[in-house]
Amino acid sequence: MEIRFHEQAAARFNEMSQELLTKAATLEQVPTRPEAASTLHPLVLMGEQDIIGKLEWNGRSINGYGDETGRCWDTSSGRMGYEGDAYLAVKELASRLAKAAPIKGKVSEDFLLREVFVWIEETLSAKRSDRLIDFLTEKLAKAISVQELWIPVYRTYSSQEIVLGDVTFKPILPAMLDRWYSRIPLEERNQHPEATLALSRQRSSLQGTLAACVTVEADPLHAADLANVAADEAVAMLRFLSEVNWTCRITSHCLPMGKENTRTAMTIRVEGGEIRSIRRGVLEQGPVGWNVDDARKDPLNVGVLELLQSLVSRRDESDFYGDVYGALQLHARASITSDISHKLVFVVAAAESFFLRNASEPIQKNLGERMAFLVGHDVDERRKMIKNVDEFYGIRSALIHHGKDVQDHQKDVVDEFFVNIWFSFVVLMRNVSAWKTREQMFVDLEERKLS
């Protein structure tokens, strides 16, 4: 990719980089901490022969929150680097570079910060004499490329591809994996059966599952970040089709692989100071796998995928589209938490963020009536929905204000509220083009009440 900064911008960046060269300082040697006694068992031992390529070392200063506050490197005359305001000045340059027109959205600040420090260190040690922008232009041209990245979704299946905006869900087919794993010679695999077992387990977790496929133009690390963000949002929208949205009793594990929030428990049984057994089990609170084909056949879900596809592709078209999309992203977090109290918080937050004008409005009255006139077809349906909202908020109040957990006999009320909220969002998506803003929706619903 050809990178070309605006002439004035390049000149200013070069000027800032020259100023940074004067801010480097000799730093005091950090005293070595005494090694604490440890009984940790090493997983693997690595020697010099196991290191491939050049070993790079970068010293970093970290505060108590884990934030980086400085960087340094070793020279023949001692340790040199940037701390405090001088380090913040380097970060500011990296931040401004990331926002520059030719690379905005394609390169992460971390990538630029690393490369700026490489340029500073090599310039100060007289290993190079070029200007920063010339150095970065060459680096960026090699780093930025169009990449297709697949993010596997945990135990989620579909016989058809599904498009949600810029993300396409595709099944990971056996033929793709055949070609990938065949790169390893058979005789080498026979010599290392433990590696073959590990690859088999990996293939078992991947084959047949859906992957969120994203095409991005960026440096490799930033491309992965962008793809993961897009996948997270798309998977959240896809999860709207799951039955877990209709109840507080189960949890979805439909998430990008590695984030599937499955929980395990380990128990060590000891007798007389001796271990007798070590057991580990999975704590499942929802479907082990999820087939989107089956979900689409449910009568409640007829046409809902198409509504989601339209909403995602048009979410920037108006404030109302964007507000519905944002509320659904918040609502989706309820389906992946196992704690009922947390589910209540996310569902209520999604509902109130959308159906209330502001924090000063009476919650139960306005939320119940607006949902009722949005969804209810007759007086009886509307009364039933308003009654459910009142009963639900009694349960919520006992939880939030008095710390009382949801009781088994109250779960039917919670489930009914969850279904009402879910269906309200379905109706919103069906009528999303009717309003440009939430205020227009509020006015329209008020007129329905008075008609």
Q: Which CA distances in Å does 79 have to 21, 68, 145, 193?
A: 15, 17, 36, 47
Find, among 402, 403, 371, the residue nearest to 384 by Cα. Answer: 371
- What is the model's pTM? 0.89
Share of the chain above pLDDT 90, in %: 79
pLDDT band at 52 (very low <50, low <70, confident <90, very high): confident
Cα 74 to Cα 57: distance, rounded to the nearest angstrom: 9
Cα 23 to Cα 16: distance, rounded to the nearest angstrom: 11
The reported pLDDT for the residue numbered 263 is: 83
Position 190 pLDDT exceeds 90: no
Tokens representing 279 are 């057991």
DSSP 273: T
Averaged pLDDT for residues 305-324: 96
The reported pLDDT for the residue numbered 439 is: 95
- What spatial distance separates the first Cα and last Cα of the chain, rounded to whole Å? 61
Position 69 pLDDT exceeds 70: yes
Q: At what angle do helices 363-375 and 340-355 cross, to 10 degrees?
A: 80
pLDDT band at 144 (very low <50, low <70, confident <90, very high): very high
Position 218 pLDDT exceeds 70: yes
In terms of DSSP H, where are the helices of 332-378? 340-355, 363-375
CB atoms within 10 A of CB 51: 9
Position 277 pLDDT exceeds 90: yes
Share of the chain above pLDDT 70, in %: 97
Q: At what angle do helices 340-355 and 411-430 cross, to 10 degrees?
A: 40
Cα 307 to Cα 333: distance, rounded to the nearest angstrom: 19
Cα 161 to Cα 309: distance, rounded to the nearest angstrom: 12
pLDDT band at 151 (very low <50, low <70, confident <90, very high): very high
pLDDT band at 269 (very low <50, low <70, confident <90, very high): very high
Tokens representing 214 are 């994203």
Q: At what angle do helices 379-402 and 340-355 cross, to 10 degrees?
A: 120
Q: 134 or 41: whose pLDDT is higher?
A: 134
Position 153 pLDDT exceeds 70: yes
Q: Give the H or E element holding residue 132.
A: helix 132-143
Q: Which residue has the tokens 């999975």?
A: 282
Find, among 339, 340, 322, the residue nearest to 330 by Cα. Answer: 322
pLDDT band at 36 (very low <50, low <70, confident <90, very high): low
Position 55 pLDDT exceeds 70: no
DSSP 100: S
